[in-house]
Amino acid sequence: MAIRTILHYPDPRLRVKAEPVKTVTPEIARLLDDMAETMYAAPGVGLAATQIGENVRVFIVDIASEDEPSNLLEFINPEIAKRDGEQMWSEGCLSFPNVHEDIKRAAKVTVRAQKRDGSTFELEAEGLLAVAIQHELDHLDGVLMIDHVGMLKKRIINRKMQKQRGASA
């Protein structure tokens, strides 16, 4: 396992739409392991393969709090089968360090995906898990958190990210 570099906005690779995984190979399993190590080190609650420059439809989520045991969920070729309701959630993103914005999402989702062994599963999610799934699935489609806010908020986020880049250069 290895900790990978997380791409930060406005890296153009974050806008690339991920390709479906044709076969779950040992390389995909290794990618999932690397993603988990990277996400936990960051720390975060979700990570899409595109955020580390891998152009495949894979993401992971673990919404367990620090005092709870890990509950890592892996999603290969995920798709949302159903959306219900609406909720606002203050979201953060590992590709937008130190940025949090209120984003409107579905309150409840049903997602279908494959597991590491290639089998298919379906999961109903609500609350933070539903938000995390929608957020990470957006990444696989090249859609970012900044795309869900108005023009003024976009300008503020852009300035904040430019300052952060300048400070780390």
User: What residues are annotated to the active site?
Assistant: 136
Number of H helices and E strands in the chain, helices first, is 3, 7
CA distance 34 to 145: 23
CA dihedral 37, 39, 45, 48 (to 10 degrees): -110
CA distance 117 to 25: 9
Q: CA of 18: how far to CAs of 5, 31, 51, 127, 165, in Å?
A: 18, 14, 11, 26, 25
CB 123 within 8 A of CB 110: yes
